[in-house]
A and B are shown apart, each in its own frame.
Chain A
């Protein structure tokens, strides 16, 4: 896997496409100036995006490693840097370094398993990388269920891909839900954890959960009620980061540095950490 030669020095990345996903989420396509990808990554890994003079932050890479043409980042507008990124036009150049962190064990523990993806809002971003990786290596995995919810129908990201790719794929079941009824929405209404209980999946799947902390908490409780154990459930943690290589100290929780030991953790691992993650 190639990596920036000096771990703290970024490369120049070009934003080649920007898609408005929801009122506050845009997906940015990033290429190397000479075309192609800046680096290879694995599903769940992150990269540091920097707008010089504005700031730098860690974002999950939402595109699959199997996508050879470019990398994508789905970014919610919620702070100074993300506001600036949202103001950019295609052709803009930013500084990018990575990939950082571990990844979902697509080449080991997840192989051959029936997979249950559970995402809330922008939490779909890291899981989308795994979902597309799994679909591109379909024979290596069992059934795929994707439970995805957002506040409203307008807040669901990647709807084009969900409808045109995921819903059409063999042995893939997509279950969408929104928090409150909305005109024109004929799908399920209700919070993700409640819908999860209704769907009542057999407890022999491996679950990958990403979303707001409150959703994760109730999803984990629901999964345990359904008979899942913590070693069957993966999530990604998100803490403030500066270096990305376990040195600046910010994302330290117990003996772990989320930037290098994570962001992907199993819940039995999270259980062993001091309780100050959320």
Chain B
């Protein structure tokens, strides 16, 4: 284990960028989001939740898949560039790290997505334990421990020191490249004490006791057919904010962008909340907002775990809880079903 004083972080970032690109929470335009580090960037490691999750480091909101050019009736197709430079995502929290594990289940399954796979290969994740979980957090409900994120490197901020521990080969390589700036820290008691403090805080969070009982493949049709959806969806504006801030949402669209040099076929995030998501010339199998609303939660809490050994496609980051303009979110859905279940017993 190592440690580095918070006054030294600028030097650390400078050192990392000698060999790697660096993305970390940066304040710009009044918001903190993961962005490329520059010497004058207003880095905000103390921000617990960036507005958008850092999933775009691996699954960008827009990316070009290939370009089509037609010359004299002949079509040529040129694959887009895959990520070829090593990069570091610095300061990721445990919930967002879990979001990447959810995306791995989708994008690395055969046939693997080559754009995503290239980024995963080139990316090193430095996680930061959550010193101050917020009231909208409920990661522990999904078995996530914000005191011990399983990243390539994990950091704990204790006082003015960051404690640094590497867990993987990539983590070791990064550690080696910045070693001159790190100070050996033999004593892990400080980290253990900090972990205990974080875990005791997490237990007291207002949503810590949410129960996921009955959210599994075995109860699929029972959940799907519940009359509760019809009541729950009503305030939904179908704005899609919940899907865009979500670290685990992976639905995407593939579209055309006409340029002076051919047609770029690009991929961009999409939302199951939108009415044209499933619209075909022949019709639409989800014509109502209730159906679309239901699909989002059924997918996260029933279909995804049924297909992925019980892993939910929600990480309890709480962004949707904070950002939904009508305060409608997954916590409300889980609570409503729990209440209904209790009433039926």
Contacts and interface: CB of A to CB of B under 8 A. Distances in A.
Q: Do A and B come from one complex?
A: yes
Interface of A: 3, 6-12, 50, 52-56, 78-80, 82, 91-95, 238-240, 242-243, 245-255, 272, 274-278
Contact of B253 (A9, A248, A277): A248
Given A238-B280, A239-B285, A252-B295, A247 B75 contact: no
Given A52-B262, A254-B303, 14 more contacts: A11-B77, A52-B68, A53-B258, A79-B280, A93-B70, A93-B73, A94-B75, A239-B278, A240-B280, A242-B254, A249-B251, A250-B277, A251-B278, A252-B303
Contact of B252 (A6, A91, A92, A248): A248
Given A3-B111, A238-B282, A255 B77 contact: no
Interface string B59-82: 000000110101001111101000
A167 to B, nearest CB: 30
A275 B272 CA distance: 17
Given A53-B263, A278-B285, A247 B113 contact: yes
Interface residues of B, number: 50
- The A contact surface, by secondary structure, is loop
A9 B285 CA distance: 28
B31 interface: no
B106 A247 contact: yes
A9 B73 contact: no
A255 B299 CA distance: 8
Interface string B223-259: 0110000000000000000000000001111101010
A56 B114 contact: no
Interface in B187-235: 217, 220-221, 224-225
B250 A247 contact: yes
A53 B77 CA distance: 13
Contacts of B73: 91-93
B265 interface: yes
B170 interface: no
B306 interface: yes
Interface string B258-282: 1000110101001010000111111
Contact of B254 (A78, A238, A248): A248
A247 B330 CA distance: 22
Nearest to A78: B281
Nearest to A247: B106
Nearest to A12: B75
27 contacts: A3-B111, A6-B114, A9-B77, A9-B79, A10-B66, A52-B262, A56-B265, A78-B281, A78-B282, A80-B281, A93-B70, A93-B73, A239-B278, A239-B280, A239-B285, A242-B252, A247-B252, A248-B253, A248-B254, A248-B270, A254-B220, A255-B220, A255-B306, A255-B307, A275-B225, A276-B291, A278-B285
B258 A240 contact: no
Interface string B77-118: 101000000000000000000000000001101011110000
Contacts of A55: 256
A58 to B, nearest CB: 10
Contacts of B307: 255
B298 interface: yes
B286 interface: yes
A272 to B, nearest CB: 8
Nearest to B224: A274
Contact of B303 (A6, A250, A255, A277): A255
Contacts of B77: 9-12, 95
Taking each of B111, B114, B280, which has the highest tally of chain A beta carbons within 10 Å of its own beta carbon? B111
A177 B68 CA distance: 44
